[in-house]
Structure 1
Amino acid sequence: MNLIDRHEYILAQLKKSEHVTVMQLCKDLNVSTVTIRKDLKQLEDSNLLFRTHGGATNKNPYIIDRNVFEKEKFYSNEKALISKCAVSHMESHESIIIASGTTMHALADAMDSNMELNVITSSLQVSMKLNQFPAVEVLQLPGILRKSSISISGHYAEQILGDYFCSKLFIGVDGIDITYGLSTTSGQEAKLNKAMIQSAQKVIVLADSSKFGRKSFGRICAIDEIDIIITDYGITPYYKEEIEKLGVKLIIAE
């Protein structure tokens, strides 16, 4: 197979699955890893793909920060399905942590107003929503207001979390990369998320399928440090298989 044919094959595979690995391409095309890596570099130089660790993707894996009102416009139906599924993992009389972000806003909207819960949150919007629920006790974390997400971050919030331990943490992320792990656009928010993980028995990540194969500025943790990922039907077979290999339970919301 010549150069042009290999490039056409690689782009066709990306169109089908959004991600290809060097090893699989070597096997399919019967060429060396050196040849495939050169092919991927040439295609990236032509702005036809983005190289990743061990392969390539057809979507930009690097995330820029957007404000919460922009983010709420994207994947709203998927976030609603994911949130409805996440609520089924809550039990009355639990103490839980809810992080920040648009998926956490959708989670608060999906919650049963009659549930009896203790909730710690960094999100002002989640606090305002849950404040309307008569049986929910809300602890709003203090600290620096991050305007783009309307949430709190900083040392004060991290320090207070050290005095509490909850049964579950529900957290949204900006990126999930197999090798880099979970990430968010804010370094301060990533630090707070790490503290939340230390204060929870079980970590449940709510992430629509667009978050897979992407990475951002602030790394939160490795994938195998969490317990459950709830996502939508758009997740590719590659990421489904890789996440399950890491021993993390993957739930597809329907």
Structure 2
Amino acid sequence: MAEGSLKVTRDTSERRREITSLLKSRGSVQVLALSEMFSVSMQTIRKDLHYLEEHGIATRAYGGAISSEVVNTNAEPPIEAKRVSHTEEKERIGQLAASMVKPGQSIMLDSGTTALQIARFLPDEEDITVVTNDFDVLSVLAQKRNIKIVMLGGELRRKNMAFYGAQTVAALDELLLDKLFLGVDGFDVERGITTHHEAEAQLNRKMVETAREVIAVTDASKFGKVCLHRIIDISEIDALITDAAAPSFIDEAAERLGIKLYKA
């Protein structure tokens, strides 16, 4: 191999090692910034990111890549696994969230096992209205005699037993609700609230537009995790309900952004 080819190979290997280091320390990288940092074309950087993705180091995202240590788009756990994960914390969070719902209010419950706990603990009042797209939440609420239930239609996604699609989003056009209890797959101070499923992210963004107050509900295991599909920045929520194991940086972020923080 000619000396020039050896230099190019060495430079490429060194650049990819440095990009890997940046991914591990920052969690994500952007093509434009890397192009300027290493004084190479954006096409070259895209080839680097493609190489790192093939080797399981990165996951490509719009305009850049996310570290595979903080995102795994194929790792959404099945609903059966979610139901038995952090159950005590979810029960406490659900009970606290349900206590915030007052007579005369309309609320929206996002899909997920934490929303299911909120549904369990909701007071059975005639003048409480609950909107949901989650089949299991519907099943729990149907056992209560007085709560008014509005079910969002669409296509059933069996992996988490919830409805999604254009029909689901359109159903929210005429609604204005008091509270949205938003479950999350990932909650990162810098990269926001994220989920594994694109259609869920689209629906969640519409839910946020529809609610006067947005309350994120999550156990501490979701903090620092980033999934592929972004819902909103954490600055767009009004309150966060979590458990006592939440790390100190969550307290700091909540205080800095004016987010009400509750620990169950």
Query: TM-score normalised by the shorter chain: which range applies?
Result: 0.7 to 0.9
Partner of 2:21: 41
Q: Which amino acid aligns with 2:200?
A: E
Q: Whole-Å Cα distance in 2 between the matches of residues 100 and 180 of structure 1?
A: 21
Change (3 A) 1:60 1:88: farther
Listed one character per residue, the Cα deviations across residues 55-108 of structure 1 (whole Å, up to 9, x for unaligned) are xxxx94225211211111111000011111101210112111111011111111
Q: Which amino acid aligns with 2:21?
A: K
Write out aligned runs for 1:1-254 (5 A).
Answer: 41=21, 50-53=24-27, 60-63=69-72, 64-114=75-125, 116-253=127-264
Q: Whole-Å Cα distance in 2 between the matches of residues 232 and 60 of structure 1?
A: 24
Q: Which amino acid aligns with 1:120?
A: V
Change (3 A) 1:79 1:96: same
Q: Whole-Å Cα distance in 1 between the matches of residues 180 and 142 of structure 2?
A: 19
Moved more, 189-198 or 115-124: 115-124
Listed one character per residue, the Cα deviations across residues 165-199 of structure 1 (whole Å, up to 9, x for unaligned) are 00000110001111110011101001000010111
Gaps in structure 1 of 5+ consecutive residues: 1-37, 45-49
Q: Whole-Å Cα distance in 2 between the matches of residues 130 and 60 of structure 1?
A: 38
Q: Which amino acid aligns with 1:142?
A: G
SS in 2 for 1:182: strand
Q: Whole-Å Cα distance in 2 between the matches of residues 41 and 222 of structure 1?
A: 25
Q: Which amino acid aligns with 1:177?
A: D
Moved more, 239-248 or 100-109: 239-248
Q: Which amino acid aligns with 1:61?
A: V
Q: Is the 8 A contact 2:110 2:132 kept in 1?
A: yes
Q: Is the 8 A contact 1:178 1:243 kept in 2?
A: no
SS in 2 for 1:244: helix
Q: Which amino acid aligns with 1:139?
A: V
Q: Is the 8 A contact 1:154 1:188 kept in 2?
A: yes
Q: Whole-Å Cα distance in 2 between the matches of residues 238 and 225 of structure 1?
A: 17
Per the TM alignment, residue 152 of structure 1 is displaced from its structure 2 partner at its CA by: 0.6
Identity of aligned residues (%): 31
Q: CA RMSD in A?
A: 2.2
Listed one character per residue, the Cα deviations across residues 138-162 of structure 1 (whole Å, up to 9, x for unaligned) are 1110111111110011110101101
Partner of 1:25: none
Q: Whole-Å Cα distance in 1 between the matches of residues 199 and 219 of structure 2?
A: 23
Q: Whole-Å Cα distance in 2 between the matches of residues 69 and 51 of structure 1?
A: 33
Per the TM alignment, residue 244 of structure 1 is displaced from its structure 2 partner at its CA by: 2.2
Q: Which has the higher contact order (CA 8 A, sep 6+)?
A: 1
Normalising by structure 2, report the TM-score: 0.73
Which runs of 4 or more aligned residues in structure 1 lie more than 6 Å from their structure 2 counterparts after TM superposition? Answer: none
Gaps in structure 2 of 5+ consecutive residues: 1-17, 29-67
Per the TM alignment, residue 163 of structure 1 is displaced from its structure 2 partner at its CA by: 0.8
SS in 2 for 1:51: helix
How many equivalent pairs are there?
206
Listed one character per residue, the Cα deviations across residues 36-65 of structure 1 (whole Å, up to 9, x for unaligned) are xx8x939x9xxxxx53359xxxx9422521
